[in-house]
Amino acid sequence: MLHETSKIPQATTKRLPLYYRFLQNFENAGQKRISSQELSEAMKIDSATIRRDFSHLGALGKKGYGYDVQELLLFFRKTLDQDEATNVALIGVGGLGSAFLKYNFHRNHNTKIIVAFDSNSPEKGEKINDIDTYHPDKIEEKINEYGIELVILTVPSRSAQEVTDRLAKTDIKGILNFTPVRISVPDHIRVQTIDLSVELQTLIYQIKQQ
């Protein structure tokens, strides 16, 4: 997790994984150093925003030199805990959930869905895309057994809060919520909600304003 970035703006924290991904691309291309302008052109983010983001993180570059790709990669790897594995569970193997199981964060070596839950799965469990999948009756037991820290929630809206209440009794630290419900959680659990219908409506509005 982001141990060293608790005081920086939320918008900046959301861009940190993007910086890390694009820096990996630069490294793979053999580039030793980059400027904020080069990052800007690759990421489609204005260079002033990049410089402001990096200023929140400390002195990462040198005037007239730019940024050392290797040094930046090491910094972001440490900041994002890229060397520490995070165990993820998926609850709800419908259309979206099935897509997550197939994808399973193949570009992120430190993040993997290792267990899933679905109402159509037996209590004894089954394999879906090589992932152990159980009936939701086993949520509390298996969340603790697999050492799950993060949960991806892709259940029907009517079940979202009920499932969340059960998760609140486990040791998870965060929920990535893909339901339109604004779920309530205890203070020790962080929630990131992604409402695809809202994102689509926002994009439609922005297009019409052009």
Determine the average pLDDT of the residues in 36-40: 91
| 66 assigned to a ligand binding site | no
| 94 assigned to a ligand binding site | yes
Model confidence at 3, pLDDT cuts 50, 70, 90, reads very low
pLDDT at 79: 82
pTM higher than 0.85, yes or no? no
AA identity, residue 138: K
Q: Which domains does the chain have, with CATH numbers?
A: 10-78 (1.10.10.10), 86-197 (3.40.50.720)
143: exposed, middle or buried (C-beta count within 10 Å: 0-12, 13-18, 19+)?
Answer: buried
What CA–CA distance (Å, rounded) separates 114 from 120?
18
Q: Which two tokens stand for residue 163?
A: 């499932």
pLDDT tens sequence across 144-156: 999 999 999 999 9
DSSP H/E element including 3: none
DSSP H/E element including 32: none
**DSSP assignment letter at 84:** S
Model confidence at 26, pLDDT cuts 50, 70, 90, reads very high
What CA–CA distance (Å, rounded) separates 172 from 93?
19
| 97 assigned to a ligand binding site | yes
| 92 assigned to a ligand binding site | yes
Radius of gyration of the chain (CA): 20
